[in-house]
Each structure stands twice: as C-alpha cells, then as structure tokens.
Amino acid sequence: MTVKKLIGMVVVLVLLVGIAVVQKKKDVSRHSPPVRSDATLLEGVDLNAVTQVEITQGGTSRVVMVKKDGVWKVDTMYGYPADFSKLAGALRQLAELETGSPVRTGNITSEEFGLDDKAKRIGLKAGDSRTAATVTVGVQRKATVATGWKKQSFIRRDKEESIYLVDCEFTEFSGQSTDWINGELLRVPPDDIVSVNAGGVVLKQIGSEWTLPDLNKDTEQLVQPEADRLRSGLESLGCGAVADPARTDAELGFDKPFTYVAQTKDGFTYTVKLGAKADERQFVRIAVDYTRPAPPVAPEGDDAEKKKAYDEELQEFNSTVAANTDKTVKLNEKVSKWTYVVGAYLTESLQLSRANLVEEKGGEKDAEPDEIIEGEIPAGRFQ
C-alpha cells in the first residue's frame, strides 16, 4: 500500500468519525432536550392575566368561562357567575404541577397516550384573546408504590412534541358547565322564621309554639314534624343549574306558580315561586325583601343618662338596618335575576298541604297485627 493511499484512507476515516459525532449530537439534541426537573406546567403564564378558560372533551362536552368586568362567568351556562374559589383552586393546581423530564420526545403515536381528538383539552387565553397555554390530558397511569400511590396522567402542552407524566388526575377540570357554578342559594335558619305562607296554608309562631290560625283545637292537632319541614325549607336551598333566560313564563310554569313566603324575626321576607316540574327537578325563582322596623323612641325630658342610652340604641339600630338593607340588595343581585333548576326533593318541603300538617286530635293509627313466627304463639292469642 502506498503512502498516498494510506493518507487517503485516514482522511476518509476522520470524515466518517466527524459525521458520526455530528449526527449523535443532533440526535441527543432532538431526543433529549435539556429540561429542568423543577419546571412547572404553566411556567411563564400569568394567571392574573388569564381571561378565558375553555375545557373540551372530544365532541361530548364543552365549558367556557370568561372574565367580564372583573367577574368570572360560565359563558356556556347563560353567563351565570362561576364558582371563583373552585376555578382559582383548579388553576393554581395546574400552575404548580411539576413536569420534570419528558417521557417521550419522538416517534409519538397520539392514540398510544390518549392524546388524540378524544382527549380532554384545557385552554387558557389572556386579555388580548391570544392563547396563553393549552394542556392536552391523555390516559392515566394507575397509582403504585413507586408513585406514592398517586394517579398520574400523560399530558402535552401547546404544540410541543414532548409528552410528560404528571401527578394529577385533572378531575377538577370538569367538562360540565353545571359543575362550575356555586349551587348554594339560601341558608335561612328555621329558628329565624316566624311565619310561613305556602300556597295559602299559613303557619305562624305564637310565643314559643307553632300553629295554624284556622286550626280547630277541639278536633285537630298540628303534626309537628311536618310543620318543622315546612319552616325548614330554606335552610339549605340549592340548585343544580339555571334555565335559559329566553324561555317564557308559560314554558317554565310561572304563569300559574306555587308561592311560598317566609318571614323572619329580623324583617326579611323570602318569596319563592315554584314553576313546572321536569325530570325530578323544578323551576324556581326567588326574591328577597326587607321591612325596616320602627326606630327606638326618644326619651322625654333632659335626663342625660337616658339620652346617652337612647343615642347608643339608635346608633345600633341604624347600623343593623343598614347591614340588613345591604344584605337584601346583595341577595337580590345574586338570586332574583335567574330561574333556577332545583331538585324536586328540595322543593317538596315547600309545598306541604294542610292535610300534611293536621291530623285528627287524639287519633291513632290502627295497630299493626302481631308478627306471627312459625313455632310460636303470639301473646294474647292463646285461647
């Protein structure tokens, strides 16, 4: 072999080694990107700048929440106010998730990780309507000892190729609009109520006792448990959804509503109108009123002590009236603009009839016959 050929072979070998090194660097760059172990899922996203959250699940569900005039509303529930504490908690959880290193960066089949068109997608938009982040949630991996018994999910952010495995089930991000509203409507303690009028049936508190004004005390007596049910109907009244505001009174059954009115010792009047029933649910409308009580009477004469006591009493009175007036305004702002969809099991207690509340005085139900057990003689039957 000549020296010339030997030199040529060395040159070719050097070139091949150089190409291999360069190719290896490219592969490492492509398949093993440098990732911080403490990187978070929404790193770089300012949650306070987010003005829209959209959650979709394939073609089966879609929720859109938007921030308008500083208030979050469920756009897909006719603009009803969103449960901000729930939304804020879910977004914080999303922002604090650590992604770590990707589990796959190339040769990805979306279906393999459940990241295809059927996947759940969480989209965040900022005030200028630009997309701040999109998280696609794939299949879950079962909890194991290695994961600290946490369920994990495969996810992908935005249009990245990388797939991550994070310690989260994403159950907080429901694709149902009804899951994002605060269903609590009224919480009126029964002990605060002094009278109820349920469709013309009047129940009043006289002293420490409850009674019907038209009760015939010679022949009738009040069924106390049912009376307690009637005056406890507003103790925990809540809804599952709201009706379409475009629907008419006739469609919702408010052309001939059932009306329940409860008055409290503090001067509040709660009026609940019940419309049509549908699928074990009933349409409900609520209004709140407040009657200002009479102010304290100023003392006569020039007694300084009485004048001081009166001033203090008047100041407390005015403070209470102002607080109750403010409470009435806020409650009406919350409940009076909507028609609610309430479970019929909650509205039943508001519609008890007089027959439910009254029984014959001294009347007793016929005693049930003694149970006959094979091989035994019931007491009193042996003759």
Residues 365-380: pLDDT tens digits? 444 555 544 545 444 4
Q: Give me the percent of the chain exceeding a pLDDT of 70.
A: 83
Q: How confident is the model at residue 147, as a pLDDT?
A: 65
Token digits for 19? 């190409």
Q: How confident is the model at residue 102, as a pLDDT?
A: 86
Q: How confident is the model at residue 161, as a pLDDT?
A: 83
Give 235's pLDDT tier (boundaries 50, 70, 90).
very high
55-105 pLDDT tens trace? 999 878 999 999 999 999 999 999 999 999 999 999 999 999 998 888 877
Mean pLDDT of 276-280: 93
Name which of 174, 171, 188, 289 is nearest 238 in CA terms: 188
Q: Collapse the DSSP code of 174 into the 3-class scheme (helix H, G, I; strand E, B; otherwise coil) and give the result.
A: coil
Q: How many Å apart are CA 349 and CA 258, to the nearest integer?
A: 13
CB-CB contact of 64 with 75 (8 Å): yes
Mean pLDDT of 359-370: 63
Neighbours of 153 (CB within 10 A): 21
* 382, pLDDT greater than 50: no
Mean pLDDT of 334-360: 96
Query: Kindly report the CA angle at 51 between 45 and 52, in degrees rounded to 5?
Result: 95
Give 350's pLDDT tier (boundaries 50, 70, 90).
very high
Indicate the pTM of the whole model. 0.79
Lowest mean pLDDT, pick from 19-28, 135-144, 149-158: 19-28
Query: Taking the CA atoms of the chain, what radius of gyration do you get in angstroms?
Result: 35
Q: How confident is the model at residue 59, as a pLDDT?
A: 79
CB-CB contact of 285 with 350 (8 Å): no
How many helices (H) and strands (E) the chain has is answered by 7, 20
182-222 pLDDT tens trace? 999 999 999 999 999 999 999 999 988 999 999 999 999 99
Backbone torsions φ then ψ of 132, nearest 5 degrees: -85, -35
Answer with the residue of higher pLDDT: 8 or 313. 313
* 181, pLDDT greater than 60: yes
**Residue type for position 368:** E
Give 363's pLDDT tier (boundaries 50, 70, 90).
low
Q: How confident is the model at residue 122, as a pLDDT?
A: 96
Give 112's pLDDT tier (boundaries 50, 70, 90).
confident
Mean residue pLDDT of the chain comes to 86
Q: How many Å apart are CA 220 and CA 38, to the nearest integer?
A: 74
Q: What is the DSSP string of 187-206?
A: ---GGGEEEEEETTEEEEEE
Kindly report the three-state secondary structure assignment for every residue of 17-39: HHHHHHHHHHHHHHHCCCCCCCC
Q: How confident is the model at residue 381, as a pLDDT?
A: 40
Q: What is the DSSP string of 264-308?
A: ETTSEEEEEEEEEEETTEEEEEEEEEE-PPPPPPPPSS--HHHHH
Q: How confident is the model at residue 174, as a pLDDT?
A: 95
> Where along the chain do its domains lie?
47-180, 184-360
Give 383's pLDDT tier (boundaries 50, 70, 90).
very low
Give 32's pLDDT tier (boundaries 50, 70, 90).
very low
Q: How confident is the model at residue 377, as a pLDDT?
A: 44
Give 39's pLDDT tier (boundaries 50, 70, 90).
confident
Answer with the residue of higher pLDDT: 361 or 184. 184
